[in-house]
């Protein structure tokens, strides 16, 4: 979330609640809706690191609100983040660990593990499909995120099939 | 037809191909029951026997041994013409490599099974218009199959299979050639007809398609290694499914 807040602040100064709303508008249902507490904690850390500063703005009849803006250091950090290549997706290492290790312990056989995992992935796929159906067709960003998640899931399923074929 | 007999019942079904040299066991003792209204996805690696299985269920390939019951009637003992009648009355089939009638228009391809099934020309036309519309092909009705892309032909094949509102839809990779937009049309139509009670047995590698099913059957080396319902996921319910997509924090 650090980088997304920095990116939003690079566009214009904002207070915490505005940032929350902006994230929700951009990513829709596909983004884990950030709670306002998390946002303030992250802003606090960014401030401590010197990436953002805040000013108190007085409001009529209401408590002051803190408006955050990005610093030169913050901008540099954001640029580095944008320009560096992003890590590829991790493989499902936890499941693979189970698959390799569980039969040795006599706890479960591989066939059963793979079968259970396949059904679980299909259940997740159903969730993603339903999420896509509920998402506003105009929200390209959210829909592309969901499609990306679906493609990853498809790859996980194909890999599961390979495991079932090749591991005795 | 027996009122509550399963739509499909296969008992110890075996298929061994013998082409010249060594016998190839493609399906090795499959037991499968599909109740009316169920949607079953068949998955498994290439060569695991998926097409062979659904071809046998549709009478397009003869079984080596075992029994096939459709709608409570023994079917594996039928003659070729007996199967042809059964298919015409009860089964819609989508092939992995769609076969449309080349010298007929798309519209006629889709209407033919309904006409053969005895519905009036008007009903056949209305059903055809509905199905092609749902699949985004309304404006291709007068084309001939050769003028269509692979993905378009595949959707026409699905429309044809559903024309007769068959007791059983057998589909072998019905989205194999489709991009994601066309796949979405097919998924929507499958969801609709399934909601109306259509029984479906569908072979697929596509997890989006499989996730429409009530139940998944996994084949490996010609045998069923898993057969069961796709569970409800343990995630938080709708509306809060946001964390399905993990963005790095
Ligand atoms: N007509 C045939 N003659 C001989 N062997 C065949 C014939 N059709 C299929 N086979 C063999 O039977 C086995 C199962 O084939 P089948 O087409 O059912 O697999 P599949 O699961 O549908 O694969 P795919 O995912 O590639 O479509 C394979 O080993 C295949 O080579
Ligand atoms: Mg096949």
Q: What is the ipTM of this complex?
A: 0.86
Domain ranges, residue A133: 94-166
Residue A50 in domain = yes
How large a percentage of chain A has pLDDT more than 90? 46
Residues A77 and A101 in one domain: no
User: DSSP letter string over B115-175?
Assistant: HHTT--HHHHHHHHHHHHHHTT-GGGTTS-GGGS-HHHHHHHHHHHHHTT--SEEEEESTT
Contact flag A127-B244 (C-beta cutoff 8 Å): yes
Please give the model's pTM, rounded to 2 decimal places: 0.85
**What are the backbone angles phi and psi of residue A66, rounded to the nearest 5°?**
-95, 120
DSSP 8-state class, residue B178: -
Is the shortest distance between the CB of B46 and ligand 1 below 6 Å?
yes
Looking at residue A95, its pLDDT comes to 84
Q: Do residues A111 and A138 share a domain?
A: yes
* Stretch A118-146: mean pLDDT: 91
A53 with A115, same domain: the answer is no
B45 Cα nearest atom in ligand 1: 25
Nearest ligand to the C-alpha atom of residue B47: 1
Predicted pLDDT of residue A129: 92
**Averaged over A66-87, what is the pLDDT?**
88
First to last CA, chain A: 42
Task: Check whether residue A102 and residue A161 sit in a common domain.
Answer: yes
- Which of these three, A83, A114, A137, is where a domain ends? A83
Same domain, A116 and A75: no
Question: Is A168's pLDDT higher than 80?
Answer: no
Q: What is the DSSP letter of A86?
A: P
Residue B52 CB less than 6 A away from ligand 1: yes
Residue of B nearest to A110 (CA): B225
**Which of B24, B25, B28 should be mutated for ligand 1, with most atoms under 8 A from CB?**
B24
**Whether pLDDT at A133 is above 50:** yes
pLDDT digits (tens, 9 = 90+) for A1-49: 888 899 999 989 999 999 999 888 888 777 777 889 999 999 999 999 9
pLDDT score at B176: 84
Higher pLDDT, B53 or B97: B53
Q: Is the CB of residue A151 less than 8 Å away from at least one CB of chain B?
A: no
Say what the pLDDT of residue B234 is: 63
Ligand 1: centre distance to CA A11 (Å)? 58
pLDDT score at B243: 47
pLDDT in tens, B175-215: 887 888 788 889 989 999 999 999 999 999 999 999 999 99
Lowest model confidence (mean pLDDT) among A103-112, A159-168, B48-57, B172-181? A103-112
Please say which residue of A51, A83, A115 terminates a domain.
A83
Closest listed ligand to the CA of B22:
1
Q: Sorting pLDDT into bands at 50, 70 and 90, what band is B77?
A: very high
Asked whether residue A88 is domain-assigned, the answer is no
Are residue A40 and residue A70 in the same domain, yes or no?
A: yes
Residues at Cβ < 5 Å from ligand 2 ion: B 51, 96
Coil, strand or helix: which one is A75? helix
Model confidence pLDDT, tens digit, residues B78-96: 999 999 999 988 999 988 7
Question: Given this model, what pLDDT does residue B159 score?
Answer: 93
Q: Does A26 touch chain B (CB under 8 A)?
A: no
Give me the CATH number covering residue A66: 1.10.10.10
User: Which of A96-100, A118-122, A163-167 has the highest average model confidence (pLDDT)?
Assistant: A118-122
Would A20 be classed as within a structural domain?
yes
The verdict on the CB of residue B24 being under 6 Å from ligand 1 is yes
Whether B231 has its CB under 8 Å from any CB of chain A: the answer is yes
When divided into structural domains, chain A yields a total of 2
The CB of B49 under 6 Å from ligand 1? The reply is yes
Mean pLDDT for the stretch of residues B138-164: 91
Q: What is the pLDDT of residue B179?
A: 83
Q: What is the mean pLDDT of chain B?
A: 89
Q: Are residues A14 and A54 in the same domain?
A: yes
C-beta of B15 in contact with ligand 1 (< 6 A) = no
B211 touches chain A (CB under 8 A): yes
Under 8 Å CB pairs connecting chains A and B tally to 104
Domains and CATH numbers, chain B: 8-229 (3.40.50.300)
Based on the domain organization, do A77 and A106 belong to the same domain?
Answer: no
Rounded-to-integer distance, Cα B157 and Cα B140, Å: 13
| pLDDT for residue B3 | 63
- The beta-carbon neighbor of B230 closest among A1, A123, A157 is A123
Residue A8: inside a domain: yes
Residue B240's pLDDT is what? 39
């Amino acid at each position: 979330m650090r980088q997304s807040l920095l990116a939003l602040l690079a566009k214009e100064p904002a207070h915490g609640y505005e940032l929350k709303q902006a994230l929700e508008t951009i990513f829709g249902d596909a983004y884990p809706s950030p709670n306002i507490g998390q946002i303030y904690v992250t802003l606090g850390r960014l401030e401590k690191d010197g990436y953002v500063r805040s000013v108190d703005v007085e409001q009529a009849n209401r408590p002051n609100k803190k408006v955050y803006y990005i610093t030169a250091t913050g901008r540099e950090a954001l640029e580095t983040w944008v320009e560096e290549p992003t890590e590829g997706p991790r493989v499902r290492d936890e499941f693979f660990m189970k698959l390799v290790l569980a039969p040795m312990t006599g706890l479960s056989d591989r066939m059963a593990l793979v079968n259970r995992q396949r059904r679980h992935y299909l259940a997740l796929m159903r969730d993603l499909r339903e999420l896509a159906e509920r998402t506003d067709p105009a929200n390209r960003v959210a829909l592309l995120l969901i499609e990306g998640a679906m493609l990853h899931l498809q790859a996980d399923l194909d890999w599961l099939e390979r495991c079932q074929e090749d591991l005795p | 037809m027996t009122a509550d007999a399963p739509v499909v019942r296969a008992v110890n079904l075996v298929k061994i191909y013998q082409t010249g040299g060594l016998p190839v066991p493609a399906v090795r003792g499959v037991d499968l029951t599909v109740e009316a209204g169920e949607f079953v996805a068949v998955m498994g690696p290439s060569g695991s026997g998926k097409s062979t299985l659904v071809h046998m269920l549709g009478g397009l390939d003869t079984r080596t041994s075992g029994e096939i019951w459709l709608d409570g009637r023994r079917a594996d003992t039928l003659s070729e013409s007996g199967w042809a009648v059964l298919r015409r009355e009860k089964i819609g089939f989508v092939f992995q490599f769609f076969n449309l009638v080349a010298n007929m228009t798309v519209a006629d391809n889709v209407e033919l099974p309904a006409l053969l099934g005895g519905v009036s020309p008007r009903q056949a036309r209305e059903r055809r218009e509905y199905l092609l519309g749902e699949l985004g092909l309304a404006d291709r009705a007068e084309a001939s199959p050769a003028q269509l892309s692979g993905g378009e032909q595949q959707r026409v094949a699905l429309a044809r299979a559903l024309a007769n509102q068959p007791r059983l839809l057998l589909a072998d990779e019905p989205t194999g050639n489709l991009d994601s937009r066309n796949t979405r049309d097919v998924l929507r139509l499958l969801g609709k007809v399934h909601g109306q009670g259509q029984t479906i047995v569908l072979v697929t590698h596509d997890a989006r398609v499989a996730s429409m099913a009530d139940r998944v059957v996994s084949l490996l080396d010609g045998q069923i290694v898993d057969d069961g319902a796709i569970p409800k996921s343990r995630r938080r319910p709708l509306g809060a499914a946001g964390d399905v997509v993990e963005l790095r924090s």
